[in-house]
Amino acid sequence: MLTSDPQQGASNYSPPAGRSIWLSHASDPGVLLQGIIMMNISRRNLIKTGAVGVLAAGVSPMLSATSVFAQGETVAVGSLHDLTGGTDVYGVPSHACMKMAIAEINAAGGLLGKQIELKTYDGQSDIKKFPQYAQQAALQDKVVMLQGAITGASREATRPVLRRYKVPFVYGTIYEGGLCETNAISVNTGSDQQAIPLLDWSFKNLGKKVFYIGADYNAPRNIGIWTNHLANQNGGTVVGEEYYPLDVTDFSTAIAKIQAAKPDYVHSCLVGGPHMAFYRQWAAAGMLKKIPIVSVVFGGGNEHMVLTPEETDGIIVAYNYFEEIDTPANRDFLARADKTMGASRPYINGIAIGGYTGPMIWAEAVKRAGSFDYAALMDALKTDIEWAGPSGKMVLEAKTRSTIQDMHIMQVENRKWKLLETQSQVRPFDFGGACDLLANPRNTEILVPKV
C-alpha cells in the first residue's frame, strides 16, 4: 500500500496490493495543458519577441553547445515560450517571469563573471516551431540553457533536440509528472504533487464520496487514476467518473449525474475556455454552495479572475505558488515584479512562477559547477540543490531532476485565494524507485500512472 510521510507532507509509495499504478512508459504523453482550447485573456503586450528563422548549421550532434559558449563578457540562455497563439495565456507571463529572473541575476553581478543574454523565441503555439527553435538556440545562438515549452507536446518536441546537442533543458510548467531525464530539470510540480495533498485533505475535511469529472485526454485520465487510488487509501469511494471532449460546453447531463450520485465533493479536471461553462452551469443550478469543488487545474489559466465570484467562490485548489502567500519573501518578490513588469502585469500563478524559479535554480547549479560546461553542470546535479524563493524552500532532487517544494491548499473568495493549509516539502513521485537518474542516467522516458 502507499504510505505517507507526515513529516514531509509527502508521498513515499509502494504499489497497492494487486494493482500497479506506475511503470508505464510513454513516448507521447498527454499533459495538463495539452490540447486546451484557450480562454480569451489579454496578454497586455508584456513582451516583444525576437524569434527569427532557423539555421540548421552543420555542427556535429555530439558537440556540446555549452562547450563552445561565447568567450566574451556574456553568455546566452534561451526562452522558448508561446508568446502568441492559443497557449500564450500561459507563455507570456512565464516568459515575463523568466526575463525578471535573468535581469535580477545580471543586476547582482551576473553568473561566474558573465552577464546573461536572453535569447527569445516565440513557439507561436505551434508544435513544429519548437524543434526548429531548439536547434537554432543550440547551434546558432549557442545557448548554455533553454527554458520553456508549456505543453507536453511542445516539451516532447523540444527535449530530444536539446539532449542531442547537450543543452540543459529547464521545464517550468505544471505537468502530468513522470519526466525522468538527466538533461531535463523540472522546477514546477507534477500532478501527483498537487493531487495527493489536495485529495488527502479533501477526504479528511469534505467527506469520503467523490465524483471525478475531467477533460477527455491523457493527463486528466491519469489524474482520474490518482483519484481512485487516493480514495482507496483514504477509505473513500469514487461515486462517479466522467470525461468530456475539450469542445463540450453543455454540462447539464454531467450535473444531473453528479446530483444523482450525491457525492460529498466534486474533483474537477476540466480545462480550457469551453469547459468554463461547467462552473457557470453548476452555479446556475444552485450547486456551488451545496457540493464543494476541488481541482488541480482550476486557476491555471486565471479562471477565478475571468468568471464571477458567484460562479467560483468556494472552489478549492492546490498549487506551489499563489500571489496571496503571505511571507516577507513573497511580498518582496511581488514588489519587484510590479517594478519590473509594470502595474498592468498579469497575475502570477503556479504555472508562471516556474519562469522565475527555473533560471534561479539553474544558476545555483552553475555556481556549484563553477562552469557553464555541460559535463561539469551534469556532475553538479548529482547532489541535491537547495534554493529559497517567493514560494518558499525548493530542493532540486538529484535522482529525479524534479523539485521538492511546499504545496498550498487555497480556496477562492471574491477572486482572491484564501489559505486553508500548507503541506511542506512535498516530494516528486518516483514511481516506486523507477525514476532514479543516479542509478540509470541514460533514462529518457516519461513514466505515467497505469492501472
Q: Is the pLDDT of residue 273 over 90?
A: no
Three cell numbers written together for 66: 555549452
- Asked whether residue 53 carries a pLDDT value surpassing 70, the answer given is no
The grid coordinates of residue 423 equal 503541506
Say which CATH class 26-190+324-405+427-448 falls into.
Answer: alpha beta
Instruction: Report the pLDDT averaged over residues 245-274.
Output: 94
- For residues 169 and 358, what is the distance between their CA atoms, to the nearest angstrom? 10
Nine cell digits for residue 156: 516532447
Helix, strand, coil content of the chain in percent (nearest 5): 30, 20, 45
* pLDDT of amino acid 36: 36
Nearest-Å Rg of the Cα atoms of the chain is: 21
The closest alpha carbon to 36, from 185, 195, 173, 233, belongs to 173
Q: Determine the residue type at 250.
A: D
For 17, other C-beta atoms within 10 Å of its C-beta total 6
Looking at per-residue pLDDT, the higher value among 22 and 190 belongs to: 190
Q: Which amino acid is at 13?
A: Y
Asked if 191 and 362 count as a contact pair (C-beta separation under 8 A), the reply is no
Please tell me the class of the 192-319 domain: alpha beta
Q: How confident is the model at residue 37 (pLDDT cuts 50, 70, 90)?
A: very low
Neighbours of 136 (CB within 10 A): 23
The grid coordinates of residue 387 equal 534554493
- Would the pLDDT of 137 be above 90? yes
Nearest to 164 by CA among 51, 77, 59: 59
> Residue 49 and residue 186: Cα distance in Å, rounded?
24
Residue 40's pLDDT is 36
Residue 393: CA atoms inside 13 Å, Cβ hemisphere, count? 13
Question: Cell triple for residue 223?
Answer: 489524474
Residues 208, 189, 383: CA angle, nearest 5 degrees: 125
Task: Reply yes or no on whether the pLDDT at 58 is more than 50.
Answer: no
Q: Label residue 372 by pLDDT band (50, 70, 90).
A: very high
Q: Percentage of residues in the chain with pLDDT exceeding 70? A: 83
- Helix 152-164 to helix 129-139 angle, to the nearest 10 degrees? 30
pLDDT digits 0-9 by tens, 65-102: 554 454 579 999 999 999 998 888 889 999 999 999 99
Helix (H) or strand (E) holding 133: helix 129-139
215-223 mean pLDDT: 84
Between 87 and 202, residue with greater pLDDT: 202
pLDDT band (50, 70, 90) for residue 450: low
**How is 49-114 classified by DSSP, letter by letter?**
------------TTS-GGGG--SSSEEEEEEEE--SSTTHHHHHHHHHHHHHHHHHHHHTT-BTTB
Whole-model pTM: value is 0.82
**pLDDT, average across residues 381-387:** 97
Which residue blocks in 181-266 are alpha helix, DSSP H? Answer: 191-205, 218-233, 252-261
Judge if 26-190+324-405+427-448 and 192-319 fold alike in CATH terms: yes
Cell of 124: 507561436
Helix (H, G, I), strand (E, B) or coil at 420: strand
Q: Around Cβ 251, how many Cβ atoms within 10 Å?
A: 23
Whether the CA torsion 405, 406, 409, 415 is positive or negative: it is negative
Domain boundaries of the chain, sorted by first residue: 26-190+324-405+427-448, 192-319
**How far is Cα 90 from Cα 438, in angstroms, rounded to an integer?**
32
Q: Residue 449 has what pLDDT?
A: 63
**pLDDT-based confidence at residue 249 (cuts at 50, 70, 90):** very high
Q: State the average pLDDT over residues 147-175.
A: 94
CA dist 226 and 152 (Å) reads 19
Whether the per-residue pLDDT at 60 is higher than 50: the answer is no
Strands 403-413 and 392-396: antiparallel
- Higher per-residue pLDDT: 17 or 152: 152
Q: What is the pLDDT of residue 35?
A: 38
pLDDT of residue 177: 86
295 contacts 315 by C-beta, under 8 angstroms: yes
